[in-house]
Amino acid sequence: MEVQRMLLDIEKRKEVALHLTKLANDYAYYTLADACRDTGESYSAIRRILRSPNPTVVSLSRVAKVLNVTLDWLLTGEVTDPSWRSEHEEL
Protein backbone atom coordinates (compact mmCIF):
# COMPACT_ATOMS: atom_id res chain seq x y z
CA MET A 1 0.00 0.00 0.00
CA GLU A 2 2.87 2.40 0.77
CA VAL A 3 4.34 2.03 -2.74
CA GLN A 4 0.94 2.80 -4.29
CA ARG A 5 0.67 5.98 -2.21
CA MET A 6 4.17 7.03 -3.25
CA LEU A 7 3.30 6.46 -6.92
CA LEU A 8 0.15 8.58 -6.58
CA ASP A 9 2.25 11.36 -5.07
CA ILE A 10 4.73 11.09 -7.95
CA GLU A 11 1.84 11.43 -10.40
CA LYS A 12 0.69 14.62 -8.63
CA ARG A 13 4.22 16.03 -8.68
CA LYS A 14 4.55 15.16 -12.38
CA GLU A 15 1.39 17.12 -13.17
CA VAL A 16 2.57 20.11 -11.09
CA ALA A 17 5.98 20.16 -12.82
CA LEU A 18 4.40 20.00 -16.28
CA HIS A 19 1.88 22.71 -15.42
CA LEU A 20 4.50 25.07 -14.00
CA THR A 21 6.77 24.50 -17.00
CA LYS A 22 3.84 25.34 -19.27
CA LEU A 23 3.20 28.58 -17.37
CA ALA A 24 6.87 29.58 -17.16
CA ASN A 25 7.37 29.21 -20.90
CA ASP A 26 3.98 30.65 -21.88
CA TYR A 27 3.03 27.47 -23.75
CA ALA A 28 -0.58 26.73 -24.67
CA TYR A 29 0.04 23.19 -23.42
CA TYR A 30 2.97 21.09 -22.24
CA THR A 31 2.67 17.35 -21.89
CA LEU A 32 4.90 14.52 -20.82
CA ALA A 33 5.48 13.76 -24.50
CA ASP A 34 6.75 17.34 -24.99
CA ALA A 35 9.08 17.01 -21.99
CA CYS A 36 10.42 13.70 -23.32
CA ARG A 37 11.04 15.23 -26.74
CA ASP A 38 12.85 18.20 -25.14
CA THR A 39 15.19 15.91 -23.17
CA GLY A 40 15.64 13.17 -25.76
CA GLU A 41 14.07 10.46 -23.61
CA SER A 42 11.71 7.84 -24.97
CA TYR A 43 8.09 8.70 -24.18
CA SER A 44 7.04 5.06 -24.09
CA ALA A 45 9.86 4.17 -21.69
CA ILE A 46 8.93 7.01 -19.32
CA ARG A 47 5.22 6.03 -19.43
CA ARG A 48 6.23 2.42 -18.68
CA ILE A 49 8.20 3.59 -15.64
CA LEU A 50 5.27 5.65 -14.37
CA ARG A 51 2.85 2.74 -14.82
CA SER A 52 5.17 0.25 -13.16
CA PRO A 53 3.88 -1.06 -9.81
CA ASN A 54 7.42 -1.08 -8.43
CA PRO A 55 9.79 1.32 -10.25
CA THR A 56 13.47 1.49 -9.36
CA VAL A 57 15.17 4.63 -8.12
CA VAL A 58 17.31 4.69 -11.27
CA SER A 59 14.22 4.63 -13.48
CA LEU A 60 12.57 7.36 -11.40
CA SER A 61 15.69 9.47 -11.83
CA ARG A 62 15.01 9.36 -15.58
CA VAL A 63 11.51 10.69 -14.90
CA ALA A 64 12.99 13.47 -12.74
CA LYS A 65 15.39 14.37 -15.56
CA VAL A 66 12.53 14.60 -18.06
CA LEU A 67 10.54 16.83 -15.69
CA ASN A 68 13.64 18.90 -14.87
CA VAL A 69 13.14 18.42 -11.12
CA THR A 70 15.32 16.89 -8.45
CA LEU A 71 14.83 13.24 -7.59
CA ASP A 72 14.35 14.16 -3.91
CA TRP A 73 11.42 16.40 -4.79
CA LEU A 74 9.88 13.83 -7.13
CA LEU A 75 9.93 11.22 -4.37
CA THR A 76 9.20 13.19 -1.21
CA GLY A 77 8.93 16.91 -1.87
CA GLU A 78 6.11 19.29 -1.08
CA VAL A 79 3.80 19.08 -4.09
CA THR A 80 3.27 22.84 -4.29
CA ASP A 81 6.97 23.75 -4.02
CA PRO A 82 9.00 21.99 -6.75
CA SER A 83 12.76 21.77 -6.57
CA TRP A 84 14.11 22.36 -10.08
CA ARG A 85 17.33 20.77 -11.28
CA SER A 86 20.29 23.04 -11.81
CA GLU A 87 22.09 22.89 -15.15
CA HIS A 88 25.07 21.06 -13.65
CA GLU A 89 23.19 18.60 -11.47
CA GLU A 90 23.61 14.95 -12.34
CA LEU A 91 21.08 12.33 -11.29
Let me know if residue 16 belongs to a domain.
yes
Q: How much is the pLDDT for 66? A: 97
Let me know if residue 34 belongs to a domain.
yes
Q: How many angstroms separate the CA atoms of 71 and 47, rounded?
A: 17
One-letter amino acid identity for 75? L
Let me know if residue 86 belongs to a domain.
no
pLDDT over threshold 80, residue 87: no
Structural domain boundaries, residue 44: 2-76
pLDDT digits (tens, 9 = 90+) for 12-33: 999 999 999 999 999 999 999 9
Let me know if residue 47 belongs to a domain.
yes
pLDDT digits (tens, 9 = 90+) for 29-63: 999 999 999 999 999 999 999 999 889 999 999 99
CATH number at residue 40: 1.10.260
Q: How much is the pLDDT for 8? A: 82
Spatial neighbors of 40 by CB under 8 A, at least 6 apart, are none
pLDDT over threshold 80, residue 67: yes
Number of domains in the chain: 1
Give whole-number Cα distances, 82 to 42, 45, 48, 52, in Å: 23, 23, 23, 23
